[in-house]
C-alpha cells in the first residue's frame, strides 16, 4: 500500500530541523454550516485517536472526514516544529501510493474504451521493456500489474524490516543524500528492476511492488500518446474539480501553499524532508493533494462517476494483501475491515515526510488521515494504523 523507505546516514544529522515537539491541539469544523457538522467536529473519539499519534512521538496528524452532512477537520500536534503552527486546513501533502488508485482508474477507463485488455500481456503495449534475468513481459498481464501478482522485482528498496534489501542490489534506496535532488526517468527505474530476477512466478502470489505501477504509467503514455500525469489531469482531476490535486511537474520539488512541513527520522534525528524531487516515485506515488480532494476522488470513484459498473466491479475484486494480512488488494484499491466491523475501500500511501491513510465506508463516509512524518519501523506504523481505525470507527 505504501512507498516505504528506510534511511541510515549519520552524516545527515547536520541537516536536522528543530526537533522540539509541541502538543498543540486544534479542531476546526468546515464545510456546510449546520448543527450536524458542528456536532461531529466535537466528537472526542477522533481527537483522542489523533492525540495517540502525537503522544507516540509524531509531530502532527490531521483527519478529514467527509459525509453527506458536511466535512470536518481535526488536527493534533504541529505542522511545523519550528513555529509550533498546526497542520493547516486544506493542507497540500504528498499522498504517496494513493497515486496508484488514480493510475489504475485511468487504465480501467482505457479498458472500458477498448484500448487496453486486462488479461493481455504487457509485451503487447510495452514491447521489449520487461525483459532480462528471467523477467518476461509476454508472461505478465496488465491485470497482474494492477493487482501486484506480476512477480516482477521492485526497483525501490522497500525498507520493510521483514524484507531487508540486498546491500548489493541496484535498487533505489531512498537516502536523502542520494535522491533528494536527483531526477529519475521511468525507463531508468525499469532498467534497475530488470537487473534482478522475478520474485515469483506470475499469477501465483501477490507481493506489493512499485515497479508494476511505473509500468502502468508507461503503458498509459504508450496507448494514449500522452504522459500519465496529463491523462490523470484531464480524465479525473478536471472533471471532478479537484483544484488541490496535482502530479508535480519535473523540477517541482516543493508543495503548494498551504502545507505542513514533512519530517523523516534518520539515525534518531528528525529531518525536515518537505522538499525533494519525487520522480523516483512517479506513477507509483508522486502525486500531491489535500485530504478533502482525496475524499472526493474516492467517493466519486466508488459511486461509479469515473468508471462503468463492469470495470468498477473488476477493480474491487481482491487478492490477499501481503502488507496487510487483514486486507485485500484489488486493481489499485485496498479493501479492509476495521475493528468495529466497518469495511473501508480506498488505498493509502507513504512517502518521506508523510503517511496518509484513506478509506470510504459502505454508508458513504470518506476518511483521510495524514501524519507529517513517515513511520520508520513496524511499531510506529501500527500506531498510525490503529489511530486510523479509531477515526473510521468514530466517524
Mind telling me the catalytic residues? Answer: 97
Say how far apart CA 368 and CA 381 lie, in whole Å: 16
d(CA 153, CA 171): 9
| Cis before 258? omega within 30 | yes
- Written in H, E and C, the secondary structure of the chain is CCCCCCCCCHHHHHHECCCCCCCCEEEEEECCCCHHHHHHHCCHHHHHHHHHHHHCCCCEEEEEEEECCEEEEEEEECCCCCCCCCCCCCCCEECHHHHHHHHHHHHHHHHHCCCCCCCCEHHHHCCCCCEECCEEHHHCEHHHHHHCCCCCCCCECCCCCCCCCCCCCCCECCCHHHHCCCCCCHHHHHHHHCCCCCCCCCCCCCCCCCHHHHHHHHHHHHHHCCCHHHHHHHHHHHHHCCCCCECCCCCCCCCCCCCCCCEEEECCEEEECCCCCHHHCHHHHCCEECHHHHHHHHHHHHCCCCCCHHHHHHHHCCEECCCCCCEEECCCCEEEECCCCCEEEECCEEECEEEEEEEEECCCCEEEEEECECCCCHHHHHHHHHHHHHHHHHC
Spatial contact of 19 and 183, defined as CB atoms under 8 Å apart:
no
Backbone phi and psi for residue 361, each to the nearest 5 degrees, phi listed first? -90, 170
Amino acid at each position: 500500500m505504501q512507498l516505504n523507505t528506510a534511511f541510515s546516514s549519520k552524516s545527515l544529522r547536520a541537516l536536522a530541523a528543530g526537533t522540539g515537539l509541541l502538543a498543540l491541539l486544534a479542531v476546526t469544523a468546515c464545510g456546510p454550516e449546520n448543527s450536524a457538522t458542528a456536532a461531529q467536529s466535537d466528537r472526542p473519539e477522533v481527537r483522542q485517536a489523533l492525540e495517540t499519534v502525537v503522544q507516540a512521538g509524531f509531530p502532527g496528524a490531521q483527519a478529514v472526514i467527509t459525509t453527506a452532512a458536511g466535512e470536518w477537520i481535526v488536527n493534533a500536534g504541529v505542522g511545523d516544529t519550528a513555529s509550533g503552527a498546526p497542520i493547516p486546513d486544506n493542507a497540500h501533502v504528498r499522498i504517496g501510493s494513493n497515486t496508484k488508485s488514480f493510475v489504475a482508474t485511468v487504465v480501467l477507463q482505457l479498458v472500458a474504451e477498448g484500448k487496453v485488455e486486462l488479461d493481455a500481456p504487457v509485451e503487447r503495449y510495452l514491447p521489449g521493456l520487461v525483459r532480462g534475468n528471467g523477467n518476461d513481459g509476454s508472461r505478465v498481464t496488465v491485470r497482474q500489474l494492477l493487482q501486484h501478482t506480476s512477480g516482477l522485482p521492485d526497483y525501490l528498496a522497500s525498507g520493510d524490516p521483514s524484507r531487508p534489501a540486498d546491500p548489493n542490489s541496484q535498487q533505489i534506496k531512498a537516502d536523502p543524500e542520494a535522491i533528494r535532488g536527483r531526477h529519475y526517468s521511468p525507463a531508468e527505474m525499469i532498467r534497475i528492476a530488470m537487473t534482478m530476477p522475478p520474485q515469483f512466478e506470475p499469477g501465483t502470489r501477490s507481493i506489493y511492488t512499485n515497479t508494476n505501477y511505473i509500468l502502468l504509467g508507461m503503458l498509459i503514455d504508450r496507448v494514449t500518446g500522452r504522459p500519465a500525469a496529463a491523462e490523470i489531469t484531464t480524465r479525473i482531476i478536471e472533471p471532478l474539480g479537484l483544484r488541490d490535486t496535482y502530479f508535480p511537474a519535473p523540477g517541482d520539488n516543493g508543495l503548494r501553499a498551504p502545507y505542513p512541513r514533512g519530517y523523516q527520522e534518520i539515525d534518531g534525528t528528525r529531518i525536515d524532508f518537505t522538499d525533494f524531487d519525487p520522480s523516483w516515485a512517479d506513477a507509483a506515488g508522486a502525486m500531491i493533494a489535500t485530504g478533502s480532494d482525496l475524499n472526493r476522488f474516492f467517493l466519486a470513484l466508488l459511486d461509479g462517476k469515473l468508471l462503468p459498473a463492469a470495470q468498477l466491479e473488476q477493480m474491487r475484486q481482491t487478492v490477499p494483501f501481503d502488507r496487510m494480512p487483514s486486507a485485500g488488494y484489488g486493481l489499485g484499491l485496498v479493501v479492509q475491515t476495521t475493528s468495529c466491523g466497518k469495511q473501508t475501500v480506498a488505498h493509502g500511501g507513504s512517502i518521506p515526510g508523510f503517511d496518509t491513510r484513506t478509506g470510504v465506508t459502505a454508508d458513504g463516509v470518506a476518511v483521510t488521515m495524514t501524519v507529517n512524518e513517515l513511520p520508520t519501523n513496524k511499531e510506529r506504523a501500527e500506531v498510525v494504523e490503529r489511530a486510523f481505525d479509531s477515526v473510521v470507527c468514530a466517524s
